[in-house]
Amino acid sequence: MRIVLVVIFLCWAQLVFAAPAPRLTVVASVEPLAMLAREVLGDQVVVKTLLLPGQTPHFASFTPGQAQLVQQADLIVWLGEDAEPNLAALVRKSRGQRLAMLDVGGLTLRYGVGHAHENGHAPSDSVKEAAHSAEEPAAAIEASDHDHEASELDPHLWLSPHNMARLAHALADQGKSLGLHSADTDAALQAFEITLANTLAASRKQLAPYAQRDWLSQHNPWLYFSDALSLRVGMQVSSGLQGGTSARRFAELIQQMKSKSVHCVLAEPEARRAMLARLCQPGDCRIVEADPLGRDLTEARYTDLLVHLTEQFKRCLQ
């Protein structure tokens, strides 16, 4: 009997005294921000991604479960109102701390890429396509010259490693203000910076032979990435993920792909595959799947995403 009591006491004591403090929950709006939080804050926190695999930040509307996740997070990390307008109202209801990437100093921002927020204020793609067809001669239409959207922010901020390095610092500071171990956090941040520098150098080296090659994607989320890796600006089918492509626009694209010797099409998961397949015929052209949000990786770190995307670009361009 006494032995049983001792065993019970020991079990209880182990639970009470050895159980680690509950870890902080960090909710990241999109997967690449979750990847960065994993890499910089490590296992000091539990990282959750808000967007479901089938949602893109351009169209997302949220379930009650997602609203609750934001509300209960110790820290919510998101892109900020100009890049994720649909999330703003939800973030305002969160009880924990908030970190918007767009509030971080020293970011490099791109504007005027012709990227449509279909559910925002911008006109829909089909409207824009119609306007182009009516106003401009075919030869004048370039991949990203929608100058009537010169003020619009390119929301794909996470594809800039420079921007993510800035965010990493802000994340570490915020983590420490939430009580994370200071020395561990600093060490993880430093390790991240070294890995990021090495990864970028290796990626640039791998892609350098293809720096002059042209390529195509559906809505070109890749401008920050192609800039960081000294690649050419990709052609885009349309400025948003939705909207039709007129027969005239299709003919223009075929013409442009021919004149620029385009043999590589990067297909976002939401891209209109049948149309890309018509533009890019086997034998002469290669379609490679590439998700700018890295939803095809699990429990990855941000530098893993860079390695992964580099491989996909290389496979497409070579």
> Using CB under 5 A as the criterion, which residues of the chain lie in contact with Zn ion when the complex forms?
221
The residue of the chain with the least Cβ separation from Zn ion equals 221
145 vs 270 by CB, closer to Zn ion: 270
- Tell me how far, at minimum, the Cβ of 268 lies from Zn ion, in Å: 7
42 vs 221 by CB, closer to Zn ion: 221
Q: How far apart are the first and last CA of the chain?
A: 74
45 vs 157 by CB, closer to Zn ion: 157
- Tell me how far, at minimum, the Cβ of 188 lies from Zn ion, in Å: 29
- Tell me how far, at minimum, the Cβ of 55 lies from Zn ion, in Å: 12
80 vs 221 by CB, closer to Zn ion: 221
- Tell me how far, at minimum, the Cβ of 39 lies from Zn ion, in Å: 23
37 vs 157 by CB, closer to Zn ion: 157
Query: What is the β-pairing status of strands 75-78 and 24-28?
Result: parallel
- Tell me how far, at minimum, the Cβ of 291 lies from Zn ion, in Å: 11
